[in-house]
Amino acid sequence: MRFFWLFLFSFILVAYASDEIIEYDFGTVSEHIAYKQLRFKGEIKNVVVLCDCVKVRLKYKKTPKAVMSILEVFFSPHGHQGKIEEEFILIYKDNHSQRLKLKAFVK
């Protein structure tokens, strides 16, 4: 039952997310945790990740003119092989959302 609610919640979020998908490629990774720092204009208030292999830390950089959201993304390839694509959703403070796809090739 828990998976049903998780699926329903993710379906609703994807339905309301932007049609544009921003893609980032980790390239080829080994068994070690891969790290990437991504920057976005605007204040992100939440990140919805549906895979245990991706962990996200959210930070902010404030300037007098704007707020920059810094997303630190950690990808653990343990148990994965070959081409991997994981999508998640960024939810901004003004309630608009953005889909993000991370790609990697695990050797």
Res 89 pLDDT > 50: yes
More confident residue, 12 or 30: 30
pLDDT, tens digit, for every residue of 2-11? 554 444 444 4
Q: What is the pLDDT of residue 31?
A: 81
Res 106 pLDDT > 50: yes
Query: Are 36 and 101 within 8 A, CB to CB?
Result: no
Count of domains forming the chain: 1
| 74 CB-near residues (< 8 Å, 6+ apart) | 33, 34, 35, 54, 55, 56, 57
Res 99 pLDDT > 60: yes
The residue among 43, 37, 72, 38 whose CA lies nearest residue 60 is 43
Q: Can you give the residue range of the structural domain that contains 8?
A: 2-106
Of 9-13, 16-20, 22-26, 46-50, minimum mean pLDDT range: 9-13
Average pLDDT over residues 76-92: 91
Q: Which residues pair with 99 in a beta bridge?
A: 21, 89
